[in-house]
Structure 1
Amino acid sequence: MLPVVLYTKRKIFKSYCGFSFFIFIWIYDPQKKDSSLIRHEKIHFLQQLELLFIFHWLLYGLFYVAARLAGHNHDKSYRSIPFEREAYAHEDNINYLNDRVAFSWVRYCVP
């Protein structure tokens, strides 16, 4: 299964340039040149597939809420989510999507 990449004319949720949900990836990239952003969102797509979509979003929310309860601000909480840590760590690696091992995000659960 491949995700459907859709380009938007505005940023998503007022500040994000990419968003992956179910089989869709929304990208705000007026130049349509930022392939690292698309790779980042495709990593999220693979994570969602592994967790049957719903469990990915449940865990995503739990990781975020746990970080907020630990006293972190929004940005630090968002960046601490293991799914985001994996995606940011590998978004510039053009081979990562082909070489990625299932459930690779688990290694990012420990800070």
Structure 2
Amino acid sequence: MILISKYLVPKGYAGISIFPFIFLRKQELKLSKTLVNHEKIHLKQQLELLVIPFYLWYLIEFLVRLIQYKTWQNAYRNISFEREAYHKESDLKYLNNKPFWSFLKYLRI
């Protein structure tokens, strides 16, 4: 389910997925198929990790990347979940055949 909330979406971002919802900053963003697909990829990732472990992994990996890359934006873009979502967001059929735990392919150690 897609909801509109400029208050729940952090500044500088267009959307955020918090299972089972996708929150978008503006109504017109619903028309962006790539953005909605990006957020749906995150919902699938959350399901694969049974939701709570997803958020723990995301936070820990973000903190590691922040130490590694020194900037918020670089840390965010290098989280394995984000790397997969950005890489596959234009492939609107990706979710039909997404391999289980495919985000691991994007994990950099």
TM-score normalised by structure 2 residue count: 0.90
1:63 aligns with 2:66: no
Structure ranking higher in helix proportion:
2
- Within a 5 Å distance, the mapping from 1:49-60 to structure 2 comes to 49-60=47-58
- Within a 5 Å distance, the mapping from 1:41-52 to structure 2 comes to 41-52=39-50
**Deviation larger for 20-29 or 86-95:** 20-29
Count of aligned positions: 108
State, as a whole percentage, how many aligned pairs show the same letter. 37
1:27 aligns with 2:48: no
Instruction: Report the Cα distance in structure 2 between the residues aligned to 1:66 and 1:76, rounded to whole angstroms.
Output: 11
Instruction: Report the Cα distance in structure 2 between the residues aligned to 1:90 and 1:71, rounded to whole angstroms.
Output: 23
- 1:54-100 per-residue CA deviation (whole Å, 9 max, x = no partner) reads 10010001111001122420000000100000000000001101111
Structure 1, unmatched stretches of 5+, are none
**Deviation larger for 65-74 or 15-24:** 65-74
Which residue identity lines up with residue 50 of structure 1 in the other structure?
Answer: E
Instruction: Report the Cα distance in structure 2 between the residues aligned to 1:54 and 1:11, rounded to whole angstroms.
Output: 19
TM-score normalised by structure 1 residue count: 0.88
Give the superposition deviation at 1:110. 2.4
Structure 2, unmatched stretches of 5+, are none
Q: Provide the alpha-carbon RMSD of the alignment.
A: 1.7
Q: Which consecutive aligned stretches of 4+ in structure 1 deviate over 6 angstroms post-superposition?
A: none
Instruction: Report the Cα distance in structure 2 between the residues aligned to 1:53 and 1:10, rounded to whole angstroms.
Output: 22
Report if the CA contact (8 A) 2:34-2:90 is conserved. Answer: yes
1:101 aligns to what SS in structure 2? Answer: coil
Give the superposition deviation at 1:8. 3.0
Instruction: Report the Cα distance in structure 2 between the residues aligned to 1:28 and 1:98, rounded to whole angstroms.
Output: 26
